Structure 1
Amino acid sequence: MKSFGFNTYGAPEVFETIERPKPEPKNNQVLIKTVAFGVNPYDVKLRRGSEQQNRPLAFPIIPGSDVVGQIVAMGSEVTDFEIGDWVINLRPLRGYSEYVTATTSKIVKKPKTMSILDAASLPTPGVAAYNIIHRFLKRFTDTNDKTIAVIGASGTVGSIVVQIAKSYGNRVIGIGAKKNAAFMHLIGVDEMGFYDQEDVGAKFENQADFVVNAAMNGTDNGLINQLVKAGGGSIATVGDIAPVITKSGTSLAYVHQDKSFDTNQALRFLTHLSRTFGLIIRADEALPFNVQGVITAHQKLEQHTNEGHLVIAQKHERTTTHGPAK
Structure 2
Amino acid sequence: MADLESAITPVLAILAAVAAAVLLTLAARLVANYAFRKVPGFAGRSAKARLPVFGVLALIGTRVALSATASGRGWFPAVDFVTMTALIAALCWLALASLSIGERMVLRHFSARSTDNRRLRRLTTQVTLGRRFIAALLITLAVAGMLLTIPEVRALGTGLLASAGLISIVAGLAVQSSLSNVFAGVQLAFTDAIRIDDVVVVEGLWGRIQEITMTYVVVRVWDERMLILPSTYFTTTPFENWTRNSPKIMGTVELDLDWRAPVDQLRAHLDGVLAATPLWDGRAGKLEVTDAVDGRIRIRILVSAADSGNLWDLRCLVRESMMAQVQQSHRSSIPRQRWESMSPAN
State the TM-score, normalizing by the size of structure 1: 0.21
Answer with 1 or 2: which has the greater Rg.
2
Which one has a larger percent strand, Structure 1 or Structure 2?
A: 1
Higher relative contact order (CA 8 A, sep 6+): 1
State the TM-score, normalizing by the size of structure 2: 0.20
